[in-house]
Structure 1
């Protein structure tokens, strides 16, 4: 584990920052993905459906009513071959009516498997409750579930969810609003005052001085003429400009559950001295059987016998010089044989002592 930690950490040593395209640093405001959701019915299952759940029954009655067939009142059909499902999809920016979308279908009730099922025509709605796509098709299910008569079960992956590649057709386009907005707004994925200023400077050098201005740590406002064609060409020019992003802030990420620790190359240590000892407590239980004397009234008994050993391993103290780099930190930690849990304790102590000027994030 310590060797793996050292290799990972050394790979993160500070290196010269290379130029990055603006399109890889963020996105233009309005050019976003919209989420769609729908409630539908999957039929054609081999006895692995919802049986007689109320919402599945109501869904089947609704499907039947589309074709002018109304079930008599008080009669609920057995639906072992059907299941109520939730259908989800993502509607990308600039998608047009008639284009296909991939959809994900997930069982809503007690359906054991959707393998072999067919999704009936299902409207997909956006956050405004308007229909933007219609979904239908045969499910591709990667999971498998088998249940024996004695109650034993075997499941591989998740059989109660599947996908339909190209299973939805877009019915309505979403207006991104970028063509009529007063200005174009470019938003960084991560807030950084230095990077946002460099993005604005790069845009001004390319399209003309004074066209772009950084309005906060995330957004760059760009003056652009009205019209979708002109703005599309301008955005295409801007997103391919190269920018040197600012160095990442010093940060240490600790996953306490898995013992994973990631230290970026910006971490530096102020002068500090550290010693790390290991305390081992060992308890041995060796119960003894005590036999009574012959012809006595005593009974055989078990007498407990415990031995406790305490061993404390001492190691020499080591010191960090001013501005110690990541490589020096890893070398010192490996020298004392610290485990990931021990390293977490050392880093927390350095942070509390003010010797590590970095953000410590514990997941």
Structure 2
């Protein structure tokens, strides 16, 4: 009597033969829009100085922030309320705060478009929660006004205090207004120069730049793109603007296989953070690392006891660190040292100096 087991195994073998090669060779492709941007198409930063009103006695202490009082006096004078210099200096308004407003004007923004703004306390206000930003002009680097901001501030924190006790959740001195500014002036943006549009890669890499050129020429026709240097690519584009926009839309969605980046270890000594990419390798080496501590006991001078000073140094035996050909091996080798993050920073620097760490060490 025949069974279906043999047939099932043959079918499974055929499926495995077809699927396994695809799994063994993953394609790490990215779109051109994820790797590069169009030259000249950029955001512009805006900034402004304003006043937040409507706070619940959590505003600036005007005696310590004279610029808040001066700003309120100038604003009131523009609205027909004239105060003498003596009256202005005596203002004690705890429900207002001086703030800086920042925003980003996107490319191709037109008058009437709404953009988000971030409001940050400039003085010693305790909280901006519940406040309203008064009409504030936002200027660019050239000093021109490009947007006007106003609206209710959304603060993602909360706080409470009673006597000497205080509880704060998240940050209270900064908030955001969604669509809080209206664009008043557009920034001219040129979409290319003549018959060419230039793409700029996020980082300089000759291999990736050549892959971008090859992908564009395959997808849009030979001779469409050419590399200028290790970061820029010149693309022949249609003269008609409508056709050019559609042309660039197709180019941005072409897939490119980027060249693997250089091996790099990022170290932040302020936080003790260490991050490394998958290209980091490690040569075999020996490491000894011990810590030195000094303990000072003030003693009791009234009883005639002097200070007791002790110096201790923990033993740092020489440990053999095995070579690692991939990231998991490197992590295992470093974990075997049993060092804390701060000690690991010093060890990585010493490994780099000795040539055992095959990676670029960057301290941020």
TM-score, with normalisation over the residues of structure 1? 0.77
Q: How does 1:217-256 map to 2 (within 5 A)?
A: 217-256=230-269
Give the Å deviation of 1:105: 1.5
Give the Å deviation of 1:22: 0.6
After superposition, the Cα gap between the structure-2 partners of 1:342 and 1:131, relative to the gap in structure 1 and judged at 3 Å, is closer
Which moves more between the two structures, 105-114 or 237-246? 105-114
- State the match for 1:29 in structure 2: 39
- State the match for 2:19 in structure 1: none
Aligned counterpart for 1:205 among listed residues 218, 239, 245 = 218
Contact between 1:37 and 1:126, CA under 8 Å: does it hold in 2?
yes
- State the match for 1:63 in structure 2: 75
Render the CA deviation track for 1:151-184: whole Å, top value 9, x for unaligned.
Answer: 6544333322222211111122222111555631
Query: Mind listing any 5+ residue stretches in structure 1 that lack a counterpart?
Result: 1-14, 286-299
Aligned counterpart for 1:98 among listed residues 112, 117, 122 = 112
Render the CA deviation track for 1:79-134: whole Å, top value 9, x for unaligned.
Answer: 22222222211111122222211111222223222222222211111112222111
Render the CA deviation track for 1:337-360: whole Å, top value 9, x for unaligned.
Answer: 455455545544443333443212
Aligned counterpart for 1:142 among listed residues 145, 149, 156 = 156
Aligned counterpart for 1:18 among listed residues 28, 36, 43 = 28
Query: Mind listing any 5+ residue stretches in structure 2 that lack a counterpart?
Result: 1-24, 297-302
- State the match for 2:273 in structure 1: 260
Which moves more between the two structures, 157-166 or 326-335? 326-335
- State the match for 2:198 in structure 1: 185
TM-score, with normalisation over the residues of structure 2? 0.77
SS in structure 2 at match of 1:194: helix
User: Is 2:49 the partner of 1:39?
Assistant: yes
After superposition, the Cα gap between the structure-2 partners of 1:187 and 1:180, relative to the gap in structure 1 and judged at 3 Å, is closer
SS in structure 1 at match of 2:178: strand
In 2, distance between residues paired with 1:72 and 1:344? 60
The size of the alignment, in residue pairs, is: 335
- State the match for 2:325 in structure 1: 324
Render the CA deviation track for 1:259-293: whole Å, top value 9, x for unaligned.
Answer: 433332223345x4x334565889999xxxxxxxx
Give the Å deviation of 1:330: 3.5
- State the match for 2:209 in structure 1: 196
Which moves more between the two structures, 75-84 or 275-284? 275-284
In 1, distance between residues paired with 2:348 and 2:26? 26
Aligned counterpart for 1:85 among listed residues 99, 121, 125 = 99
RMSD value over aligned CA atoms?
Answer: 3.7
Comparing both chains, which one has the higher relative contact order based on Cα–Cα distances under 8 Å and sequence gaps of 6 or more? Answer: 1
After superposition, the Cα gap between the structure-2 partners of 1:27 and 1:328, relative to the gap in structure 1 and judged at 3 Å, is same
